[in-house]
């Protein structure tokens, strides 16, 4: 049986659709999803609706928990009202139905599964904490400690948005990367196809997929939403921080109007304008507020 493993959708519906379409074509059955369905992206309600299908196995991510805590953390949002992250949490909460919030609240933070001889543990961050970052750079000693804590043959995690597969202490650790917000200098969607055999063998194939960056939600075209986004200068998803010329058809959702370079003020090092990136036959993209790892990958049509 082939299992699609996904993580960190971050309300990016076009990216999720591209991944699910590819997984179906590859013959995948169940979908194991290790959280962070919300945050930054403009499709929170649609993404939650998509993951409620029967073949999905879902757990809660740290961003999902933050969105659900919006009513309790109102005073913090006022203190941080100019930060796009806090705005994204509030906007996601307000654009979920009460039934969808209840569904997210019912999701576990971790989940243990048994598949033949395989003991599988689904976590968002690590077996120790949903906020711990597991990446290819984690020291082997730490992985040994987490393997003992997990008491599983396979740990599937997300959170770092960086795909990897490694083994420590007799336990495999798999991170499929991020569907909606990759963080490894390649903006294409990431996911993995996993095969676990009865003999104890494991096979994982990692994929990077372009997706339709032109789809834009109606709520993000409201003047109030655009006005709030213009006030923010912190690091965020590429469609919330890039500006694209009017003659280019590759418009990311929730794009910002083209700014005047003379009016751009440095902030956290992300506001420095760079040379326009020319796309043959498609116009140019001026990158403002855009960290290097969100710039265009040479093999990608996505930003």
137 inside domain: yes
Q: Which phi and psi (to 5°) does residue 97 adopt?
A: -80, 165
| Beta-bridge mates of residue 5 | 32, 192
- Boundary of a domain, candidates 188, 209, 230: 209
- Boundary of a domain, candidates 159, 182, 209: 209
Is-contact 124 36, C-beta < 8 A? yes
Domain count, the chain: 2
Task: Examine the domain organization and report whether 191 and 255 are in the same domain.
Answer: no
303 inside domain: no
| Beta-bridge mates of residue 164 | 175
CATH of the domain at 28: 3.60.21.10
Predicted TM-score (pTM) of this structure? 0.72
The per-residue pLDDT string of the chain (303 residues; one tens digit each, 9 = 90 and over) reads 899 999 999 999 999 999 999 999 999 999 999 999 998 888 999 999 999 988 899 999 999 999 999 888 764 555 555 467 778 888 899 999 999 999 999 999 999 999 999 999 999 999 999 999 998 889 999 999 999 999 999 999 999 999 999 999 999 999 999 999 998 888 899 999 999 999 889 999 999 999 887 665 554 444 434 444 443 333 334 443 332 223 333 333 433 333 444 443 443 333 333 333 333 333 333 332 333 333 334 444 433
Task: Examine the domain organization and report whether 271 and 155 are in the same domain.
Answer: no
In the structure encoding, which two tokens stand for residue 174, read together? 């798999």
């Amino acid at each position: 049986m082939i299992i699609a493993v996904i993580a960190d959708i971050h309300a990016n519906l076009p990216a999720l659709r591209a991944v699910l379409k590819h997984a179906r074509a590859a013959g995948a059955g169940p979908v194991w999803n290790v959280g962070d369905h919300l945050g930054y992206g403009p499709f929170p309600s649609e993404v939650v609706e998509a993951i409620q299908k029967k073949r999905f196995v879902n757990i809660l991510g740290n961003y999902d928990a933050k969105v659900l805590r919006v009513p309790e953390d109102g005073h913090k949002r006022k203190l941080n009202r100019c930060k796009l992250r806090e705005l994204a949490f509030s906007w996601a909460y307000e654009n979920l139905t009460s039934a969808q919030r209840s569904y997210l609240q019912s999701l576990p933070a971790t989940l243990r599964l048994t598949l033949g001889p395989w003991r599988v543990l689904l976590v968002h961050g690590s077996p120790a904490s949903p906020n711990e970052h597991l990446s290819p750079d984690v020291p082997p000693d730490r992985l040994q400690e987490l393997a003992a804590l997990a008491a599983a043959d396979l740990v599937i995690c997300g959170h770092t948005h960086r795909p990897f597969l490694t083994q420590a202490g007799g336990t495999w650790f798999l991170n499929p990367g991020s569907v909606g917000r990759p963080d490894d200098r390649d903006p294409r969607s990431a996911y993995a196809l996993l095969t676990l055999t009865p003999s104890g063998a494991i096979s994982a194939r990692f994929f990077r997929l372009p997706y339709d960056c032109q789809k834009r939600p109606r709520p993000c075209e409201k003047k109030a939403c655009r006005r709030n986004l213009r006030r923010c200068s912190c690091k965020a998803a590429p469609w919330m921080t890039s500006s694209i010329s009017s003659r280019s058809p590759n418009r990311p959702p929730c794009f910002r109007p083209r700014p005047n370079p003379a009016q751009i003020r440095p902030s956290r090092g992300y506001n420095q304008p760079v040379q326009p990136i020319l796309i043959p036959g498609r116009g140019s993209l001026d990158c403002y507020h855009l960290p290097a790892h969100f710039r265009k990958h040479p093999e990608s049509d996505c930003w």
